[in-house]
Amino acid sequence: MKIAIFGSQEYDIESLNEANKKYSYDLTFFKAYLNEKTASLAKDFDAVCIFVQDTANKAVIDILAKEGVKTIALRCAGFNNVDLDSAKTNNISVVNVPAYSPHAVAEHAIGLILSLNRKIHHAYLRIRDGNFSLKGFLGFDLYGKTVGVVGTGKIGQETAKILKLGFGCKVIAADPYPNKSLEKEHKIEYVDLNVLLKNSDIISLHCPLTPQTKHMINKESIAKMKKGVMLINTSRGTLINTQEVIDALKSQQIGYLGLDVYEEETSLFYQDLSSSIITDDVFARLTTFPNVLITSHQGFFTKEALTTISNTTFENIEKISKNEKCENELTKK
């Protein structure tokens, strides 16, 4: 079994090689992301393994099929970057890793909330500069604040529980499929999205990117929020209309913004561009706000999550190659 691993980072190589000891697959690591220009690298491979920055649209999948690829194995949960219909048409199986560590992403969302509120990232720099002033560092108690969690799947529910049980927040949630145990055991109230937007001091996004959720945070939805709201997005960048969020930061309608994801992150994230000129003016503007904290899609990045991702990726590929039922298959042949 020959597997082409696209968008490989050092940590992917390490953790996939470790997990592969059990399988001895023939792995080839490509630094390049999968896209129309690189898809032909997959010639004669049985499977491609991809992550969030890779693109498997119709054009890419047509090339993969021509080159003999039978399986697309996502080493992540979200699959908005894969055209499942084209995969099905081309008889290519698509598998993902739906749950590797919901704790990793939920805990990162909490990290963004705490850092933004208490300005920990600014304090770190100030202290190193010998400046012990507290000017501008006034925060607020999380206890008793209302947090709106949008999407209460695996990650959203962990986030909701940490905020409720750990910090004593009032947590409200919006999800077309409410989670009964969150409602009953943890007294988390499901409300209409508009009610959540209106009443939340902090809003944390945990729903997938779909045609329905694309740009769900836009000037209309922002206008419904409390003035000075904290907005956290660890889900997918395109849930947010970034330009309209920038306008709201300028008018101070949004008081804090924590992002682990960004609409145009593919050309930036996971690369060292410290000696390059950033040509994305929207991103550059975001970095000028003192109340914006951005991380480079690292919510998933814990040891535990990497191990589970690698093991599950190979389990998926193994099952598909043996024609066994695979619970993580996104499209049936």
Closer Cβ to ligand NAI, 136 or 211, answer by number: 211
220 in active site = no
Give the nearer residue to ligand NAI in terms of CB position, either 16 or 74: 74
Query: Tokens 């994801």, residue?
Result: 261
Task: Provide the b/e sequence for 131-152 (b: ≥16 CB within 10 Å).
Answer: eeeeeeeeeeebeebbbbbbbb
Rounded to whole angstroms, how far apart are CA atoms 328 and 98? 7
CB of 178 to ligand NAI, least distance (A): 9
Distance CA 16, CA 159 (A): 28
Nearest approach, Cβ of residue 305 and ligand NAI (Å)? 8
Least gap, CB of 176 to ligand NAI (angstroms): 5
The closest residue (CB) to ligand NAI is 153
The minimum distance between CB 67 and ligand NAI, in angstroms, equals 28
What separation in angstroms does the CA of 295 have from each of 51, 59, 61, 100, 271?
17, 31, 30, 20, 12
Given the residues 158, 263, 265, 315, the one annotated as active site: 265
Residue 297 falls in the annotated catalytic set:
yes
CB nearer ligand NAI, residue 150 or residue 172: 150
Instruction: Kindly list the residues in this chain that would bind ligand NAI in the complex (CB under 6 A).
Output: 77-78, 102, 105, 150-156, 174-177, 206-209, 212-213, 234-236, 260-261, 297, 299-300
User: What 3-state class would DSSP assign to 62?
Assistant: helix
Q: Which is nearer to ligand NAI, 261 or 320 (CB)?
A: 261
- DSSP letters spanning 243-292: HHHHHHHHTTSEEEEEES--TTGGGTTTS--TTS----HHHHHHTT-TTE
Q: What is the number of other CB atoms lying within 10 angstroms of the CB of residue 242? A: 22
**Residue of 158, 236, 244, 315 with catalytic role:** 236
Closer CB to ligand NAI, residue 46 or residue 260?
260
Q: Least Å distance between CB 275 and ligand NAI?
A: 26
What is the Cα Rg of the chain in Å? 21
Give the catalytic positions in this structure: 236, 265, 297
